[in-house]
A and B are shown apart, each in its own frame.
Chain A
Amino acid sequence: MINFVMPDLYPASAEIFILVMACVLLLVDLFAGSGRRWLVYLLTQLTLAGCFGITLATLDGQSVTTFSNMFVDDLFADFLKLVLYPTVAVMLVYSRQYLAARNLDKGEFFVLVLFATLGMMVMISASHFLTIYLGLEMLALSLYALVAIDRDSARATEAAMKYFVLGAMASGLLLYGISMVYGAVGSLEIAEVGQRIALGGGNKTVLVFGLVFVVAGLAFKLGVVPFHMWIPDVYHGAPTAVTLFIGSAPKLAAFAIAMRVLVTGLAELAEHWQVMLMILSALSIALGNLAAIAQTNLKRMLAYSAISHMGFMLLGLLAGIVGGDPRFALNAYSSAMFYVIAYVLMSLGSFGMILLLSRAGFEAENIEDFKGLNKRSPWFAAIMMILMFSMAGVPFFVGFFAKFAVLQAVVAAKQIWLAVFAVMFSLVGAFYYLRVVKVMYFDAPTDSASIEAPRDMRLLLSVNGLAVAVLGLLPEGVLEYSIYASYAFLVGQ
């Protein structure tokens, strides 16, 4: 007989709300017609605001699982989700004019963005390997379609195709790894897997073998070397609005699943995955920073910079457990979390600048297009300068503190050489960020068109840039929340 206990839906209310709203939006779009596209946009923003409200209202600091332990609602998940919604909302504000100018602001765009957001929420709250995979697929499938949404662009179609094929392969790797872990341990529940391994269950060889594939799958989603091939092509080929989306919010979700799988599930294998992450992060920091120097296209440059930043974030993940001693865990994981949030903020701003300078029929995606920006708009040149300085890790912007926190964790874990290596390549990286600043301030403008953007975008972009500067001076707030969330994560597991 079926014993069905109605799952507790309360912890998942934000997910249910966004799913319902996405379906409602599909219908609204059908009846609104192309003349009232603002309605769909407005409803999307309201949905995200509603999710924010719901997550805030259901915030209670408790770690609650529901749906047969497949969904977890803890402070870690809540905090990441509270960063996720504004990220998506800001991305929609930035891309509105760009999409309208290219006739891409169809209702489906917003619906797919909402489904992608739902996928990320599922990933952030996943406490079961199956839900991690399903959330990942929901996100990826929406992103493939979004990349290809401009059907007349051959470059976008090519990028979508590459993303799709490589993404499918990465999902295969991840699933294969998960199947090995399941074969060895006999459970897919992440916390349960962790406990069984701690009690000596499972064949170590098989577990490590599975771990290799799981790490490869995660590395692909994070976009770190040697699984980074898709990043430059997809960032470059996708419409800039979509690039902005791919380059920001999914990093939060990828960070969340990396934490859940590696730290909660496979913590006993830390000595193995730490070595893997060390290689991945060292290669990413080196290759990302070196390859970015050669780029003339700003989107490609930011793509390589994303690779190096994700490598840097992994440094925080790998510094958590030192020889079985978890004393440094809180410090290291909260620094990695702070790094991801800081990176998302900077990434939003810099792709937002490309969107700001683009207009109908023109993409401001080359570094050349930023020539003499100071003469055209001193204010936005200053904002871009703040963003570039922060990405480069110049004190006292938020990027500096993020790097500082991670490096401090790495040094605490006695990996001095790794820290030195990371700093050296950050210095190399400073070159290409500062080149953008040089082009803006010391070159004569080639493009004299005035910058036209809706007022909300100008305002938000200014706030975004200033936030990067202010958080650099006062990072305590976000850092504290990261520490709370990581603490809840470590206690709850």
Chain B
Amino acid sequence: MDFKTALFYILSAILVIAALRVVTARNPVHAVLFLVLAFFNASGLWLLLQAEFLAIALIVVYVGAVMVLFLFVVMMLDINLERLRQGFWGNLWLGGPIAVLMVIEMVAVLSARSFGLEAMPAPASMAAGVSNTKALGVAIYTDYVYPFELASVILLVALIAAIVLNLRQRRDNKQLHPSEQIAVRRKDRVRIVSMPSEKE
């Protein structure tokens, strides 16, 4: 077993354990941190496959931005895990066997027979100086320009959706607007009513 293979097994083992801990951890903050660990190991696996750009993007985008944000959200929310787990045992009789069945089937299909080195040989090592950042860039801006544009539209939709759902005037809002107060005119506030004089 050469060094790369050993590294692969170490990274994969940590990845699997971390992923399992994400779903089993009692503390949601721990779960998020385990997910970060899983991402780190996955990016290590990508490095082994010579996909250095994807590996670094996974760390920068997911670990650096998304997961940090996620951590804030998890810390801000008051998550009651006990209540989340309430239905767990009740549905286990149905979910458990189905899950076991799925796992057995997946193991049977995703075995070495279909995905082993004979069926899918490892790609040859890339020559020194081949930049996979550049290769990705070229692919995205030429052949994949249509999905690339679509992805940008999806981000725009997400932006609009987030604003629509969160920017709203609350009815119980008593906030004052200084600019409106300064710009007020007499006719907005004072109403002159002409009334016949009343005698006693």
Contacts and interface: CB of A to CB of B under 8 A. Distances in A.
Nearest to A23: B156
B9 interface: no
A67 B145 contact: yes
A112 B154 contact: no
Interface residues of A, number: 38
B95 interface: no
B150 to A, nearest CB: 4
Contacts, number: 85
B144 interface: yes
Interface stretch (B29-37, B124-132, B159-167, B192-200): B159-167
A418 B147 CA distance: 40
Most-contacted residue by chain A among B105, B154, B168 (CB, 10 A): B154
Contacts of B145: 7, 67-68
Q: How many B residues are at the interface, by size bracket?
A: 20 to 34
Nearest to A138: B154
A183 B114 CA distance: 10
Nearest to B168: A151
A128 B147 CA distance: 10
A141 B157 CA distance: 7
Nearest to A186: B120
B142 A3 contact: yes
Contact of B161 (A3, A142, A183): A142
A19 B165 contact: no
Contact of B160 (A4, A134, A145, A151): A145
Interface in B161-185: 161, 163-165, 168
B93 to A, nearest CB: 17
Interface of B: 105-106, 109-110, 113-115, 119-120, 138, 141-147, 150-151, 153-154, 156-158, 160-161, 163-165, 168
23 contacts: A2-B142, A5-B142, A7-B145, A67-B145, A68-B143, A70-B144, A70-B147, A108-B163, A122-B150, A128-B147, A131-B147, A135-B150, A137-B154, A138-B150, A142-B157, A145-B157, A149-B164, A183-B115, A203-B114, A205-B114, A209-B105, A209-B109, A209-B110
Interface of A: 2-5, 7, 19, 23, 26, 67-68, 70-71, 106, 108, 111-112, 115, 118, 122, 128, 130-131, 134-135, 137-138, 141-142, 144-145, 148-149, 151, 183, 203, 205-206, 209
